[in-house]
Every structure is written in C-alpha cells, then in structure tokens.
Structure 1
Amino acid sequence: MSSISQAFAGPRIEVVPASTGVTSVPYQPRTLAWYARLVTGIVAGDVAAIVTSLLVGSIVRFGPVSDWSTSSALYAIAAAAVAVVWLFALSGAKSRAKRIIGEGLTEYQRVTNATLVAFGCVAIVCYLARFDFARGYIALAMPLGWTLLLANRFAWRSILLRLRREGRCLTGAMVVGSPDDVDLTVTQLRSNLAAGYRPAAVSLTSPLDDARPSVRARLAGLPCVPYAEVVEATRTSRMRALMLAGDLPGGRERIRQLGWALENSDAELILVSRLTDVAGPRIHLRPVAGLPMVHVQLPQYSGFNHSLKRAFDIVAASLGLILLAPLLAVIAISVRRDGGKALFRQQRVGVGGTTFTMLKFRSMVVDAEERRAELEALSDGNGVLFKMRSDPRVTPVGRRLRRSSLDELPQLWNVLRGDMSLVGPRPPLAREVEQYEGNETRRLLSKPGITGLWQVSGRSDLTWEESVRLDLYYVENWSFTGDLLLILRTLIQLFTHDGAY
C-alpha cells in the first residue's frame, strides 16, 4: 500500500501567503498528477478485463490457441474489433470522468451502459454485414467482461478511498456562503471523502462572530477569504472548485458573474443543493427556455419496483436457506452445547408499526435479559440502544457468530415470511419506537432489513442520530440497484467486522 501511496502522492497542499495580501489561502498543485495516474491504471485494468474475457470466449469456442484454424483467426480479428468498440464505448460513456471515479453506483452504471452499447453495436453490424458471430461466444464473453470490468473499477475505487483517507487524491475547494451553510458543506465534505473534495478555504457572506459557537469552532481552522475577493483568491491559489453553499448576496446574477469571472480557469463552479438526503437518481434537471427546472422524484412505497424487491427477497431467501442448511445445522448444534436453545426470539417493529418475532442464533447466556439491568450503566450504545464491546453475557460461540454476522442467518426465514427484507432499515425494538419524535417514524415505511446502510456504515459504532439519518436516507432513496450494491458491500463488510460486537 505504501508504494501505491507514493505513486499517487503528488505534492502535499501547503498554506502560503496569496498575492492578494488579504489572507493566506492554500496553494493547489499545478496539475492533478494523481488523476492521470489513476486513469492510466483504470484503462490498463479495463484492457486486461476485456482481453481476458474475449480470450476465454475464444478458447471455450475453438479450444487451445494452437488448434485454431483460419476461421478461428478471423474470429480473433473480429474479437480485436469488439475490444476496440468496447473501449471506445467506455470512453464515450465517460466512465473515467473525474467527477464519478470512486463514486460507486454511477460509475458502475456507466460501465454497464457502455457494455450494453458496445455489444448492441456489434449485433447491429453483424446483422447488416450478415456476419455469423457465434451466440455462445458473445453469451460468455459479455457477462465475463462486464464482471471483470466492475471488479477492476471496484479495486481502484477501494484504492482511491484508502488514499483519500490518508489525505491524498483530494481536490481543493473554496466554500462560499453563510456560516451555517458553509459549516454544513464543510462537515459533509470532511465526513464523506468519497466526494473527493477537500475544504481548503472559506468565504463567508456574513460575519463569523455572529454564528453559533459550534460553527465558529469548526470553521476557525480554515483560511477565510473576503467575499469580494473570492474570484481573485481562487485564481491565485489555483483552487480547483468553488462551491456556493446556499444563497449569495446578489442572487442568481452574482452566480452568473462568478461563472463569467472563472472562465478559462481550472476551477469548476459547484452549486450545493439544499435538497439534503436526496439521492442523485431522484433529481433531474430540465432546462426550459433558459430556466433550469429541478425535478425531484417523490418516494414511492408500492408499485412494480417493490414487487420486484419482494420477488428477489423470496428467491434469495429460499436459495439461502437451502444452500446454507448444513451451515445452519452446524451453528445450531454449536450454540446448543451450553444447554440453551439454539434460536433467540425477540419482538421487533416492522413496516407500518406492526410487530413480528425476529429470529437470531442465540449469542448470549440463557439468562442474558435478567442480567441486563446490572450492566445498563456500562453501555457503549448510542444513547437509545444498549451495546457493550465486551459484554460478559456473550458466549464464546456467540462472540464468533457476532463478529461474522452469522447469528443473523435465521432472519432469512423472516424474509421468506414477509416480515423483513434482505435490505432495509434496522429492525427496531418497541422501546425504541416509543422514543421516536417526528421524522423517525418514517423508518417504518419500509420493511426492516437483514442488512442496510446502517450495517455497512459502522453498525454499533454509529450514534443514534447517524443511525436514524442513514435509515431515513434509505427509505427516501431506495432503489433495486442500490439494494444489490448494499448486499455486495455487506459481503465485503463480513471480512472487516467494523462495528460488530
């Protein structure tokens, strides 16, 4: 990992006096060397993925290369043409654009779209030219190549996120707006490194002294540029992004002037939307006669997509119970060795406030509930939930089950029954629901899930507010594709054990 960090390191950002003489702003590197190196690595991985898939398809279709005939050589030429079209499609779909690299879902969607476009073009050409391309060859090469491409992007995304946690591969940004709006934007950028921006300076439209003490404390460490000199400071420091958080004095006319003033510079102008906790796919921009209209798709809790989600739950839960039956039996026997029951049953609150019995493998001693009162004061939970990192009630077998989340496998039966879903908000206890105030009740609009945003974002390490926010975000922005990605992230999370205790 150290060699990768050195390859992408580039110059660190240092604070030096700006020529304006007004304040000190951080100079940015002249070039984003890390981005060029990252794209080079991604392209190399894409080429390797495509060549590997086409070569495997050719070997399966024609046998070892040494046995290829003249017709096989023609297929090799055709395969090379397919590879070129595929790579052009990936480039045309802007699957390596700086704004989406490392983002996750959008990047994977563009790779998928490019793959479909590439093979659509191949099918059209073969039809028009009456070229008899083996369907079995395509049926193998396309899904294999698509899988390898996604694996390549996932690997580079993991590397990029790790580097960003080290303070590398981040784009310096100046955030402009009122202290509250700037504070919100800066906080989000610092906590969500996947966005790829580093708050390097701020410019406030009202005095910081008038802001709340907590806001002043969080913004105190950042260089502050006078609002009137934002453009000059951006150009002088080679700032790559100017983020406008909230309303500015002068309104839309001021935004247009800023855009004109930054023409032909390396900086990008970013308007930070006040539509917080709204996922990108729900937002659509439609310009009408020069008037940009932002359409926000409202959440839907019924219809085809939810029927598809339920069908997927039934199929996946059924297959899981059948394929994992031997493992379930082994775990049940291991849990029973201490004389207690294998399954732990607990009442949880489901969709619409209904209650159901949730199943788990028992991970604690038989009298765990009776001993809870004496441990309340030692809770490591988030204020509402009771959690202990070293809970003395957890059995040795239970501790291993919790670390790997295997204790939750019986919930597949809850999914099959319709009480739960594979992905959804965390299933709350009745005493938690009693403490809901206002928006928290929206968590009950969706079926609780075995996994969800809460599980891949820290689990028991989350505060109560963070847990609620993640659940509400999922409920408002659910999508079938997003569920599949969360399941994939959960499988990866099983090997890291973050927040599991």
Structure 2
Amino acid sequence: MSTNPETVGGPQTPAAGTARPITRFAVIPSQRGVDPDRASSNGPAPVRWQRRFAALVVGTDLTVVAVATTTAVLLGLTGAEAADRARIYCGLIAAALLVATLPLCRAWDRRILGNGTVEFKRLGRAVATAAVLLALGGLSLMVDSVRVWVFLIVPLIGVLLGLGRFVLRKWLHQQRGRGRCQHLVLAVGSPESIADMVRRTRRDPHFGWQVTGACTPSGRGPDDSGTIEGVPVVGDLDSVNTAVRADGYRVVSVSQAPGWGPARLHRLAWELEGTDAELAVDPGLMEIAGPRMHITPVDGLPLLSLSRPRFTGVSRALKNVMDRSVACLLLLLTAPVFIAIALAVRADGGPVFFRQERVGTNGQTFRMVKFRSMVVDAEAGLAALAKANEGAGPLFKMTHDPRITRIGALLRKYSLDELPQLLNVLGGTMSLVGPRPPLPAEVATYEDAARRRLLVRPGMTGLWQVSGRSNLSWEESVRLDLRYVENWSMALDFTILWKTVGAVVRSRGAY
C-alpha cells in the first residue's frame, strides 16, 4: 500500500507490484522476539536500521558532491591565476548550493529513502535548484566560467548522485529480500481486506512491509480461526489502541473496517497521539494513486480529490514522439540481431514472422508482428491442447507447449520474439509501454472494468511484464493493466522500461 507523499503524505512504491494507496507511512519497533536489526528498536522513531540507512545516504551524497566538485576544479585548472580562482569559487559555491538544496528539497527525508520515484524526483529538484541559483549568481556577477558548471558539471553530479541512490536502494532491497529492514504492520479491517493486504505486501517484498498482526470486527479470522494468511489476529476493532500500546506497533493500517466512519477514525487518530504509531488509511480507491490523487481542504476538512485521467495533451504527444524515436533507434541498433534471428527462424522452416490480429486503442484492431516461435500450424493445434491450459480467464498458458520450436523457446525466454513489435510502435498501433495487446476473443469476454485497458495503446512491455508475465493470474494481469491506465505518467513509463531490462534478463514468467 503506497501513494505519493507530495500529494497525500506518504511514499510512492516501485512502478511494478505495489499495493493500494494509503495516507501516511511509518516504521515499526521490534516485537514478539523479532531481531532488532530485522525490524526496529524499541526506542523512538526513526528505527535503528532506518537511521543507519539515512546516514548512509547522506554520507554518500556528501562524498559524491565533494569528490566530483574537487575533481572538476582540479581538471579545469589552467595556470591562469584569475581563471583558476574563478573556477575554485564556482566549485565551492556549487558544492555549497548542492549541500543546501538537498535537505531543503527534502531529498534526505527518511520516509522516501529507498522507495518509489519520489526520492529521485526530489533529488532532481535539488540539483535543478542548485543549477538555477548558480546560474543567477554567475549572470549577476558576469562570471563566464559558471556556464560549464551550470550546463555540464552540476547535471553530471546529479547523475552521480542518482547512481549512488540507486546502488543503495538495490542493497536495501537485498536486505529486505533476506527478511531484514522490514516495516512491521498492524492491519485493521475485515478479514478479506486484511488478507488482501497481506498478499500484496508478500508479493512486493522490496517495499518492506510485513504484516505481523491484525484486528478484525469479531476479533477472529475467517471461520473463527485465530489467523489470517498466517498472520495472528490480536484483537477486535476496539482493541487497536490497546494492542499498539502493549506491543509497540508504530503503524496502524485501516482498510474496509465495517462500521468505522470518519468520527471513529478520528477518535483512533487521537488515541494514537500518545504513542509512536502513525495511522494509515486505505481510501478504498482501487489502484489510483500518484499525480491523480490530491488533498483538497474545505473549511479545514481534508477531502481526497481525484483528477481525471488524461489520454490526450502535451504529455501524450511527448509519449508518441518518444515511442517512435526510440523504436527507430532500437531498430537501427538491433539490426544485426534482427537479421541473425530471421535467418535462424527461417532455417527452422516456415515464415520468419508471425502476424496476429490484436485489439488496440478504443477497440480498433491491428496486425501485431512477432518472430515466429511456434510451428507453422500452431493455431490449428490449439483446440487439442485446451485441456492442458494452465491459465485462468481467457488466456491460454502452458509451461511446456509442444508447439514451440527449439529456436522459439530461446526467443521467448529472452523476449526476442517481440523485437518486430518495434515496427508496430513505429507505425503507431503500439507503444513501448502500455497494457498487454489482447486478442479479439479475450476482448469479447471483458467486463466493463477490463475494457478500460483499451483507452490507451497497448505496449511492448508494461506492468504485467515486469511483474511476472505468464506467472500472473488473469485477475492480476487485468489489475496491473488498469493500474497503468489510471496512473499513467512519463515517469511511470521510464520506470517500467528500466525494470523491463531486469525482467528480460531474469526471464521470469517467460514461456
């Protein structure tokens, strides 16, 4: 469960595999014999591992700024005393501005370190602010050497800062994959909503949420059991405050609690004020977060407002330009690979390309092209394999499909069979990032919600690919596509493209 802290006060999770939005974010102290380094300390916020990680981020940023500015000054020294003095001054001022703007732009806020795109947005804002201030100072003092700092050195330092953050984030994800550096969560609500939250947090271990306790209306789990998805039920809805004070929880996540209106939630927030706990409330708006979600105060009453999804405008025009430009560039760069695969497929017998009718924007059909990875009469043999279908919904899935050729298995493993779809992107029927292009037979079974996938162009990659591809159920595939449609942004596209590289290399769910 996550959202954009710029709009509703919490962090934003990775583009892929995240859960529903909440209003706040918190970390949790150790409890029930959990290793302090695997969760937190019993002291006040921030927890021990979070303090250490924040200190590591700050130290890395300061080191990058110091080393980069010093190196730039030394490399720029020419021997002319006046010029050298100007470069040294520019370096010192640039370093000072970067060190000042990072905390001012909240790029060191512990709540956003290691999660979501907000960390990098704030980092970029800090670097841009430092560059602008440096440019204004150089312009007012007529210092010529400031230009190279504004347009080259400071942006390069920003890239190095981003790389440092990325390396630290990957280290944090590794720790969380081992069960360390976790945010332990007390979930409050119906057994169904708690079970959903537990499953979501387990699907996304890199986010670091671990539900370790639950409170339900009856104080019991489904069928009067004492657990929900293996998580112990520690009390009913009236026991939340007692459980927090007894066990030291520092985040309480409330979702779909029957009978809990605004007044009851407000009273719970008051009750938690004497503790280190923070309250996280699921607004119940499925998969809507990020730039569309805002807090609008009306006479002191905070209302959650949603802006309409935008499928036209400048951002979409930029997406179109980026799609076709990148597709053209990739076609040129992969031309040798293209030719080699075409020869290999041709040597296997039959045509090189496989063309299939798919459904695109607003239900319009188009011919999607791929390298052929199956035998020539694969479509005719589908009916005979119907009983072996491992998929749910209208999708056909088979781990060891006998129709796949030897070269086709290799192409599918690394998604090389999809390279010709760059031609579809260049032609405007597909995008680099978008929902999975469905078959007409699939669209015929769509419910109203699933038809929203057709509001945008289908993509070569998307949340479905970076989240497991064929390992996903039909419901999960639809959910991820709808999340993309509802929350599209250029930042989300770049995040998915970046994650696609890792998904292709790992070949997870590719068959």
Give the TM-score normalised by structure 2. 0.85
Structure 2 unpaired stretches of 5+: 1-27
Partner of 2:57: 42
Determine which of 89, 94, 99 is the counterpart of 2:111.
99
CA shift for structure 1 position 107: 1.4
Determine which of 320, 336, 351 is the counterpart of 1:326.
336
Paired residue total: 478
> How many angstroms apart in 2 are the aligned matches of 1:12 and 1:376?
51
Corresponding letter in the other structure for 2:406: P
Determine which of 338, 347, 350 is the counterpart of 1:340.
350
Corresponding letter in the other structure for 1:15: R
**Residue 15 in structure 1 maps to residue 32 in structure 2:** yes
CA shift for structure 1 position 381: 3.1
Partner of 2:8: none
Corresponding letter in the other structure for 1:459: R
The root-mean-square deviation of aligned C-alpha atoms, in Å, is 2.9
* 8 Å CA contact retained: 2:256, 2:284: yes
Determine which of 237, 252, 256 is the counterpart of 2:262.
252
Instruction: Evaluate the alpha carbon distance shift between residue 51 and residue 496 of structure 1 in structure 2; reply closer, same or farther with a 3 A threshold.
Output: farther
Partner of 1:188: 200
**Residue 122 in structure 1 maps to residue 134 in structure 2:** yes
* 8 Å CA contact retained: 2:138, 2:146: no
Partner of 2:3: none
**Residue 159 in structure 1 maps to residue 171 in structure 2:** yes
Partner of 2:90: 78
Determine which of 407, 411, 419 is the counterpart of 1:397.
407
SS at structure 2 position matched to 1:199: strand
Instruction: Evaluate the alpha carbon distance shift between residue 129 and residue 235 of structure 1 in structure 2; reply closer, same or farther with a 3 A threshold.
Output: farther
> How many angstroms apart in 2 are the aligned matches of 1:374 and 1:55?
69
Partner of 2:375: 365
Instruction: Evaluate the alpha carbon distance shift between residue 85 and residue 287 of structure 1 in structure 2; reply closer, same or farther with a 3 A threshold.
Output: same
> How many angstroms apart in 2 are the aligned matches of 1:437 and 1:205?
32
Determine which of 392, 396, 417 is the counterpart of 2:427.
417
Higher relative contact order (CA 8 A, sep 6+): 2
* 8 Å CA contact retained: 2:220, 2:235: no
SS at structure 2 position matched to 1:385: coil
CA shift for structure 1 position 420: 0.5
* 8 Å CA contact retained: 1:171, 1:197: yes
Instruction: Evaluate the alpha carbon distance shift between residue 168 and residue 229 of structure 1 in structure 2; reply closer, same or farther with a 3 A threshold.
Output: same
Identity %: 37
Map 1:139-288 → 2, pairs under 5 A: 139-206=151-218, 208=220, 213=223, 218=228, 221-247=231-257, 251-263=261-273, 265-288=275-298
- Bigger CA drift: 391-400 or 438-447? 391-400
> How many angstroms apart in 1 are the aligned matches of 2:224 and 2:89?
65
> How many angstroms apart in 2 are the aligned matches of 1:194 and 1:287?
33
* 8 Å CA contact retained: 2:220, 2:236: no
* Superimposed CA distance per residue, residues 436-468 of structure 1 (whole angstroms, 9 cap, x where no aligned partner): 122111111111100111110000110010001
> How many angstroms apart in 2 are the aligned matches of 1:417 and 1:214?
58
* Superimposed CA distance per residue, residues 271-297 of structure 1 (whole angstroms, 9 cap, x where no aligned partner): 222112102221111223211122101
SS at structure 2 position matched to 1:143: helix
Instruction: Evaluate the alpha carbon distance shift between residue 72 and residue 406 of structure 1 in structure 2; reply closer, same or farther with a 3 A threshold.
Output: farther
* 8 Å CA contact retained: 2:296, 2:302: yes
SS at structure 2 position matched to 1:450: strand
Corresponding letter in the other structure for 1:121: L
> How many angstroms apart in 2 are the aligned matches of 1:396 and 1:150?
41
Give the TM-score normalised by structure 1. 0.87
Corresponding letter in the other structure for 2:176: R
Instruction: Evaluate the alpha carbon distance shift between residue 237 and residue 214 of structure 1 in structure 2; reply closer, same or farther with a 3 A threshold.
Output: closer
* Superimposed CA distance per residue, residues 41-89 of structure 1 (whole angstroms, 9 cap, x where no aligned partner): 22233234434543564466447xxx78663355235323322321332
Instruction: Evaluate the alpha carbon distance shift between residue 14 and residue 269 of structure 1 in structure 2; reply closer, same or farther with a 3 A threshold.
Output: closer
Instruction: Evaluate the alpha carbon distance shift between residue 381 and residue 214 of structure 1 in structure 2; reply closer, same or farther with a 3 A threshold.
Output: farther
Instruction: Evaluate the alpha carbon distance shift between residue 110 and residue 102 of structure 1 in structure 2; reply closer, same or farther with a 3 A threshold.
Output: same
CA shift for structure 1 position 192: 3.2
Corresponding letter in the other structure for 2:465: Q
* 8 Å CA contact retained: 1:231, 1:261: yes
Instruction: Evaluate the alpha carbon distance shift between residue 469 and residue 249 of structure 1 in structure 2; reply closer, same or farther with a 3 A threshold.
Output: closer
Partner of 2:48: 33
Corresponding letter in the other structure for 1:46: D
Partner of 1:428: 438
> How many angstroms apart in 2 are the aligned matches of 1:396 and 1:227?
57
Partner of 1:313: 323
* 8 Å CA contact retained: 2:127, 2:155: no
CA shift for structure 1 position 167: 2.1
CA shift for structure 1 position 130: 3.7
SS at structure 1 position matched to 2:215: strand
> How many angstroms apart in 2 are the aligned matches of 1:45 and 1:373?
58
* 8 Å CA contact retained: 1:175, 1:243: yes
* Superimposed CA distance per residue, residues 455-487 of structure 1 (whole angstroms, 9 cap, x where no aligned partner): 100001100100011011111111122111111
> How many angstroms apart in 1 are the aligned matches of 2:282 and 2:258?
12
* 8 Å CA contact retained: 2:434, 2:459: yes
> How many angstroms apart in 1 are the aligned matches of 2:138 and 2:284?
49
Corresponding letter in the other structure for 1:288: V
Corresponding letter in the other structure for 2:52: R
Corresponding letter in the other structure for 2:32: V
* 8 Å CA contact retained: 1:345, 1:358: yes
* Superimposed CA distance per residue, residues 176-214 of structure 1 (whole angstroms, 9 cap, x where no aligned partner): 2343443443433333334433222222234546x5x59
CA shift for structure 1 position 333: 1.5
